[in-house]
Amino acid sequence: MPAVSGKKPRCIRAIDLGTSGAKSALVTTSGRVLGCEIEKFPLRLLPEGGAEQDPEDWWKAVVTSSRKILNRRLVPAEDIVAVSCTAQWSDTVPVGTKGKHLRNAIIWMDSRGSGYIEDITGGFLRIAGHGIGKLPKFIRLT
């Protein structure tokens, strides 16, 4: 890799845990993507709008994609100056007292509880779909 202004480029190890898989990349601090590896995992779509994933599949995919990108030796390890992680939002992972997940995660696209939304957020006068009388409690809780 060519040096920038006589210096070796510093890199960030980026990990993105998305709905379809784990992506691991090496990106220079100036934003150039040097390489990326993707490890997919299953999405379980269930009756009545269920959507779940096994957190163990997430971890295996992060480890596998990380090993693949690091094994490509795109930069020396000492040039990696940071690690950045992102993940899908609003997933629920029930965890036991020993720190292990108890069942599959209910992920952001699960709609089995959609029938309760009107009860929780509805009302006579609405702002952005939320009953105005329920907004103070929603804001306080979230």
- Domain total of the chain: 2
Residue with tokens 């006068």: 125
Question: For the segment 64-107, what is each residue's pLDDT rounded down to a tens digit?
Answer: 999 999 999 999 999 999 999 999 888 999 999 999 999 999 99
**Which segments of the chain does DSSP mark as H helices, in order?**
55-71, 117-121, 135-141
What domain range is 133 assigned to? 114-142
Instruction: Mark whether 70 and 126 lie in a shared domain.
Output: no
Q: What share of the chain is helix, strand, coil (3-state, %, to 5)?
A: 25, 35, 40
- Compute CA distances 38 → 5, 16, 21, 31, 127, whole Å: 32, 9, 7, 19, 41
125 part of a folded domain: yes
Per-residue pLDDT at 78: 93
- Compute CA distances 34 → 39, 60, 61, 115, whole Å: 17, 23, 20, 46
**Which segments of 10-73 does DSSP mark as H helices, in order?**
55-71
142 part of a folded domain: yes
Instruction: Mark whether 90 and 25 lie in a shared domain.
Output: yes
Instruction: Mark whether 101 and 119 lie in a shared domain.
Output: no
Instruction: Mark whether 59 and 20 lie in a shared domain.
Output: yes
CA atoms within 13 A on the CB side of 16: 10
Question: For the segment 113-134, what is each residue's pLDDT rounded down to a tens digit?
Answer: 888 877 777 777 777 777 778 7
Question: For the segment 4-51, what is each residue's pLDDT rounded down to a tens digit?
Answer: 455 777 999 999 999 999 999 999 999 999 999 999 999 999 999 999
Instruction: Mark whether 106 and 136 lie in a shared domain.
Output: no
69 part of a folded domain: yes
Task: Look at residues 105, 25, 124 and name the one whose alpha carbon lies nearest to residue 59.
Answer: 105
